[in-house]
């Protein structure tokens, strides 16, 4: 495997960063997870815009143009002979002295990995996921805005561990007010009386690229959709539930906290959303 690292393609075994990199020392950096479908990088421009906004929010100046990062992303796929896969684009604050001060890091570092990924077993896309609610809460937006896709993922990791301890592959994280924020790595949607509802960023949800696509898909298939404050009750009593994410794509949920959702099977609207999503991924984006 070839990894793009600070302007060069290196073998996987040689893809190394310094122990003084502040991305490693302090989680000081930003990233994007991006999908490649049939030689098409899905919504690459939207991913790069979010990367730029995340960097701006943490006062990190990116020395590369959007086109330079786009070209490097596509070339990484070509270098690895990929037409379908997952891309991890990471920008760290770079090498600096010990201590929090980011101004001691003269330049950021960038690396791009293009490989395969399978987040959930295939059978769950047809039978649905069983998930749970975990104790670890989503970070308050006043502390760290969820719109910043940073390298600080420890609370999500703790929630993922708690999900596994409960026998689940994924879990809902609540915010400090008790509203549903998101899952450990996915956005959450419910369907109630023919309407799609999803938590807002103000409740702690990441503004996911796939999440944004669902708004477009809902308009396309004629299903009303809006952001709403959701509690666990709203998920327990929903007609349908599904999750979205770059790695997860669109996956149905059929049980939460021991309560069966709807009739316990993936719903009709979820199926229509998934079908429309699979059409879009081949045409919306950048050809490598």
**Structure confidence by residue, pLDDT tens digits, 255-277:** 999 999 999 999 999 999 999 99
DSSP bridge partners of 227: 198
Class of the 2-115 domain? alpha beta
**182 strand-pairing partners:** 173
Helix, coil or strand: residue 118: coil
Average pLDDT over residues 28-48: 97
Distance (Å) of CA 250 to CA 124, 135, 228: 11, 25, 20
The chain-wide mean pLDDT, for the chain, equals 96
Return the pLDDT at 119.
83
Return d(Cα 189, Cα 226) in angstroms, integer: 10
Q: Convert the pLDDT of each residue in 185-237 to its tens digit.
A: 999 999 999 999 999 999 999 999 999 999 999 999 999 999 999 999 999 99
| Residue with tokens 């896709």, as numbered in its chain | 149
Instruction: Judge whether residue 117 has pLDDT over 90.
Output: no
Please report where in the chains the tokens 């937006």 appear, as a residue. 141
Q: In 230-247, which positions are buried (b, 16+ CB within 10 angstroms) versus exposed (e)?
A: bebebbbebbbbbbbbbb
What is d(CA 193, CA 8) in angstroms, rounded to the nearest whole number?
Answer: 53
Fold of the 124-285 domain: D-amino Acid Aminotransferase; Chain A, domain 2 (3.20.10)
Q: pLDDT tens digits for 139-180?
A: 998 898 989 999 999 999 999 999 999 999 999 999 999 999
Q: How far apart are CA 183 and CA 136, in angstroms?
A: 11
Q: pLDDT for 179-192, tens place per residue?
A: 999 999 999 999 99
Q: In the chain, list all ranges with CATH 3.20.10.10.
A: 124-285
Q: Where do the CATH 3.30.470.10 domains begin and end in the chain?
A: 2-115
Rounded to 5 degrees, φ, ψ at 180 are: -65, 130
The stretch 22-46 carries a mean pLDDT of: 97
Confidence of residue 129 (pLDDT cuts 50, 70, 90): very high
| Residue 56 CB contacts under 8 Å (≥ 6 apart), including other chains | none
Active site residue 149: yes
pLDDT for 55-68, tens place per residue? 999 999 999 999 99
Neighbours of 25 (CB within 10 A): 18
> Rounded to whole angstroms, how far apart are CA atoms 30 and 58?
9
Active-site residue identified among 149, 160, 193, 265? 149
Does residue 102 sit in helix, strand or coil?
A: helix
């Amino acid at each position: 495997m070839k990894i793009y690292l600070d302007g060069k393609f290196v073998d996987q075994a040689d893809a190394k960063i310094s122990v003084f990199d502040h991305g490693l020392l302090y989680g000081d950096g930003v990233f994007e997870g991006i999908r490649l479908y049939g030689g098409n990088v899905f919504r690459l421009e939207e991913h790069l815009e979010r990367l730029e906004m995340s960097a701006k929010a943490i006062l990190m100046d990116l020395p590369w143009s959007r086109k330079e990062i786009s070209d490097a992303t596509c070339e990484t796929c070509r270098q690895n002979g990929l037409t379908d896969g997952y891309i991890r684009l990471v920008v760290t604050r770079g090498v600096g002295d010990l201590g929090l001060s980011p101004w001691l890091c003269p330049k950021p570092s960038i690396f791009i990995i293009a490989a395969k990924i399978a987040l959930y077993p295939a059978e769950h896309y047809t039978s649905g996921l069983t998930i749970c609610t975990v104790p670890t809460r989503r970070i308050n937006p006043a502390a760290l805005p969820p719109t910043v896709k940073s390298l600080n993922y420890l609370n999500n990791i703790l929630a993922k561990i708690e999900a596994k301890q409960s026998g689940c592959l994924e879990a809902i994280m609540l915010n400090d007010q008790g509203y549903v924020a998101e899952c450990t790595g996915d956005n959450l949607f419910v369907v109630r009386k023919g309407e799609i509802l999803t938590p807002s960023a103000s409740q702690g949800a990441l503004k996911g690229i796939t999440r944004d696509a669902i708004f477009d898909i809902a308009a396309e298939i004629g299903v009303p959709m809006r952001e709403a404050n959701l509690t666990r009750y709203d998920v327990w009593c929903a007609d349908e539930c599904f999750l979205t994410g770059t790695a997860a794509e669109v996956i149905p949920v059929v049980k939460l906290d021991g309560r069966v959702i709807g009739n316990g099977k993936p719903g009709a609207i979820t199926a229509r959303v998934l079908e429309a999503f699979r059409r879009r991924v081949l045409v919306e984006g950048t050809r490598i």
